[in-house]
Amino acid sequence: MTTSALRKPAPRPPLLEVSGLSKSYGTQIGCRDISFAIRPGEVLGIVGESGSGKSTLLACLSGRLQPDTGSITYDMQGRGPVDILTLSEPERRRLARTDWGIVHQNPRDGLRLDVSAGGNIGERPMAIGARHYGDIRSEAQDWLKKVEIDLSRTDDKPRTFSGGMQQRLQIARNLVTRPRLVFMDEPTGGLDVSVQARLLDLLRGLVRELGIAAIIVTHDLAVVRLLADRLMVMQRGRVIEEGLTDQVLDDPHHPYTQLLVSSVLQV
Ligand SMILES: Nc1ncnc2c1ncn2[C@@H]1O[C@H](COP(=O)(O)OP(=O)(O)OP(=O)(O)O)[C@@H](O)[C@H]1O
């Protein structure tokens, strides 16, 4: 056997690596000294009470907010790891269109309400070069089926949809181009409990099927229990506990995480 046959393949670099990220609003801490890495296909949950810095962190990661310090390195296809804070605005927008998805808590923030449901899904493939109308429409309809929206609604505008349908459409719009990383901000927030459960099942199936990495911000432990491989718990802008989701939830070490877990169990 040659020595090269014995050599182990080099470990794949993280898809996203965050180091020492901080953001303040004047004297108010948004998030402070956050570091973590996420690998391809991995789902990271971020939980914490209101005001703990989850949205600030997510906005910095997805390029919507400029952090004060720290670095965010993303493994770009065909280019390798780049610090996204050094990308030009057009480069960052292109990355957001091709490699990333962003699922907002309020689906109306992530949909074009006056464009048909099919058009909402077809826009992303078109933005990256798809031109054949028949193919785009049939792909849009495949996705409507996947997210359980009746095909008779293809040409209807999402403003005529229920909240749950709008959220499912937003998910289809984001996943149609098979992004490698999806940012989700309270994806089931504002929905009825029964609608939430179905949506969570659907999301879990899609994320696993497509092997997408995701960062999910929520205050709902049921969401992370079902979707996240790993969990970070935030309080007052800092990460106070992290680890495998089941480990953190079944054996929380930090008093705040213990409180969070026990308050859910008491409900
Ligand atoms: N635009 C802003 N200007 C000033 N302070 C802000 C701003 N946005 C957030 N903050 C402050 O930063 C801290 C973190 O807020 P952030 O919205 O990131 O928390 P969160 O965990 O996402 O809360 P929620 O779950 O309520 O959305 C809070 O103290 C908040 O008041």
DSSP string covering 135-202: HHHHHHHHHHHHTT--GGGTTS-GGGS-HHHHHHHHHHHHHTT--SEEEEESTTTTS-HHHHHHHHHH
**124 domain-assigned:** yes
- Look at residue 143 and tell me if it is in a domain: yes
Q: pLDDT value at position 9?
A: 67
Digit-coded pLDDT (tens) for 88-117? 888 888 888 889 999 998 999 999 999 999
* pLDDT over 80 at 7, yes or no: no
What is the per-residue pLDDT for 30?
Answer: 96
pLDDT tens, residue by residue, 144-184: 999 999 999 999 999 999 999 999 999 999 999 999 999 99
How much is the ipTM here?
A: 0.96
Residue 148 lies in a domain: yes
Decide if 216 is inside a domain: no
Atom of ligand 1 nearest to the CA of 57: 18
Residue 28 Cβ contacting ligand 1 at under 6 Å = yes
**Residue written as tokens 């965010």?**
72
- Give the SS3 label for residue 107: helix
Which range marks the domain in which residue 153 is found?
A: 108-178
pLDDT (0 to 100) of residue 94:
85
Asked if the structure places residue 119 within a domain, the reply is yes
236 pocket-lining for ligand 1 (C-beta < 6 Å)? no
> Do 227 and 218 meet the contact criterion of CB atoms below 8 Å apart?
no
The average pLDDT across 132-136 equals 86
On whether the CB atoms of residues 117 and 198 are closer than 8 A, the answer is no
Asked if residue 196 has its Cβ within 6 Å of ligand 1, the reply is no
Distance 55 CA to ligand 1 centre (A): 7
**Number of separate domains in the chain:** 1
In a domain, 122, yes or no: yes
Residue 186 is assigned to a structural domain of this protein? no
Between the CA of 201 and the centroid of ligand 1 the distance, in Å, is 29
Rounded-to-integer distance, Cα 23 and Cα 237, Å = 9
Whether 27 maps to a domain, the answer reads no
Mean pLDDT computed over 230-235:
96
